[in-house]
Amino acid sequence: MHDRNLSRRTLLTATAVAAGAIASASPAVASSAVAGTARHDRLKRLIARMSLEEKIGQLFVMRVYGHSATAPDQADIDANLKEIGVRTAAELIERYHVGGIIYFAWAHNTRDPHQIAELSNGIQRAGLAQPTPVPLLISTDQEHGIVARVGKPATLVPGAMALGAGGSRADARAAARIAGSELAAMGIVQNYAPVADVNVNPANPVIGVRSFGSEPEAVARMVDAQVRGYRSAGIAATSKHFPGHGDTTVDSHTGIPVITHTREEWERIDAPPFRAAIAAGIDSIMTAHIQFPALDPSNDPATLSRPILTGILREELGYDGVVVTDALNMEGVRVKYGDDRVPVLALLAGVDQLLNPPDLAVAWNAVLEAVRSGELSVERIEESILRILRLKEKLGLLRDPFVTSRGVDRTVGTRSHLAAADRIAEGTTTVLTNPDGLLPLSRRSRPNLLVVGADPASPSGTTGPPTSVLAGAFTELGFTAGALSTGTAPTTAKIDEAVAAARGRDVVVVATYNVSATSSQRTLVDRLVATGVPVVALAIRNPYDIARLGGVGAAVASYSWTDVELRAAARVIAGRARPEGRLPVPVQRADDPTQTLFPVGHGLSYR
């Protein structure tokens, strides 16, 4: 996996020389305090070798298109030239000296595990070819559930709300350890997970099932478990989105949310998971592009708020790890200030890493000019670089940043990991209603099933539309099952088709997706119920759908539509696994949201 013209030995030697022999601590160091001082001095010497331009670059984490660091496809070269002004990841590093790169599936960074590993190695070779050789922090958003950038054959474990429904800290920690070890094998060392937001607003359009639930202490326990799981795998976890994005009806990708909690409510609701993350040794914390007037009356987004990031996070909570912004191309941080001011204000607020600005040249030059003009001191910049380098050293990047094909084969998508993911997922599936004992279906002598319903855009952990995955899972369990995708907004023609297909079936399973008051999914379910064929409603995202669905024979929640969660739901519905999941959020009545239909902790078992 290494370039013929620039050997691993040569690159690692260059790193050691430039860093003042960072890779080898003196065996004579007798105490951790002395060792810490020596490590600090070595990192400071490395910073002193950097030019101002290299120092600025260390603060940025940037996207780049392509499956290869040096030879991406022509379409990716064109995209890089258009958006960044470079052809490849290697050119990006050479020109801007960026300290990190973030992977996305849509940027064609994550085709398969071996390709990802080679891309990571190519990026690290480019980093070590700098005038001051420094490896990069390679990151991604691998939350699992509905947000996963790396798909099969890597192991996909249940997402946050599913794990919250399972309620097992051991499972949450095991899921993070599996996920982290596989990311590490592919050269991804910083994961933007776990989400520490407490989802107290069912209408939240951006967090929802990405949260572990609505109970602060329960979320805190899961965050603690996942941070420890990722740490045991040797990668950096990132709790997000500080100071808490769980109570909003606005998506910060497209607008600026306002959190109306009082300071006391923040302490009680939003703060506990972040406190737990810090106590567990979290390596990085991501900011939120939200206004929080009770914490900062200026109404600057939290990402740009010194009272929030320095006053609360640094000084009150005592956090001295890396602070990374949420993506700077999101509208929530761009509403109030221009793209040239945002990175400067973020650094003044207390940020260390500037993630994915919309125009890197504008952002990079703005920070450079702010240092040259004195608005940002060199000392302030070096403070952040020191935190970033500490993390790189902790993760072993300054010793050896490379990964191997053998490591990929031994770690990614192994039989034991896949079996563990299936076991964990079975414990998360939640049966909400089963009034007449329709479930488990095994009581009905292998009924003839029809699976219909929503087919949302697939996260990386899926092999096809949810209806097809479910029908395939039921077929493997010995049932006769057909599939018909009707979409998230089924037309009258599709509904008619589903009703016709239901005739002669023993049971219909309907996959629902965020059913609203006006959703035609309600009409689909009503029409199917009217056929007299028993209907099982499976909520494949937020578990609130049952509040708007009447007459169904049973209602189940899977919290996502990745293969692992859908297969587990099929096993529970079929009676091949016991339902053990319990709601981690309340479900309110649709006709009176002040009344609770199902409380936190609700979930049925089979007799």
Closest CA to 74 of 87, 56, 93, 86: 87
Q: Which of 112, 114, 251, 253 is catalytic?
A: 253
Neighbours of 315 (CB within 10 A): 12
Cα end-to-end distance, the chain, whole Å: 55
CA-based nearest residue to 217, from 175, 274, 285: 274
Asked whether the beta carbons of 551 and 584 are under 8 A apart, the reply is: no
Kindly state the tokens that stand for 282: 């979290």
Confirm if 192 and 139 have CB atoms less than 8 A apart. yes
- Report the C-alpha gap between 77 and 465 in whole angstroms: 31
Q: Which residues pair with 287 in a beta bridge?
A: 242
Measure the CA–CA gap between 71 and 89, rounded to whole angstroms: 9
Could you tell me the CA-to-CA distances from 305 to 335, 387, 565, 571 in Å, in that order? 14, 19, 39, 48
CB 99 within 8 A of CB 59: yes
Of the residues 197, 326, 352, 455, only one is catalytic, namely 326
The answer to whether 283 is a known catalytic residue is no
Residue (of 506, 537, 533, 532) closest to 521 by Cα position: 537
For the question of residue 253 being annotated catalytic, the response is yes
- Nearest one of 324, 333, 245, 247 to 282, comparing CA atoms: 324
Report which of 329, 323, 260, 322 is spatially closest to residue 291, judged by C-alpha positions.
260
Under DSSP, the state recorded for 108 is T
Of 567, 566, 530, 534, give the one whose Cα is nearest residue 553. Answer: 534
Whole-angstrom CA distances from 594 to 201, 246, 434, 597 are 12, 19, 24, 10
Q: How many CB atoms lie within 10 A of CB 296?
A: 21
CA-to-CA distance for 325 and 299, rounded, in angstroms?
17
Q: 59 in the Ramachandran plot: left (φ > 0), alpha (ψ -120 to 50) or beta? A: alpha
Q: Per residue in 170-190, is it b (16+ CB within 10 Å) or e — as a string?
A: ebbbbbbbbbbbbbbbbbbbb
- CB contact at 8 A, 186 and 403: yes
Task: Residue 273: count other Cβ atoms within 10 Å of its Cβ.
Answer: 30
d(CA 325, CA 303): 6
CB atoms within 10 A of CB 403: 23
Instruction: Put the strands of the sheet holding 430-433 in their side by side order.
Output: 430-433, 554-557, 535-539, 507-512, 448-453, 480-485
Active site residues: 253, 326
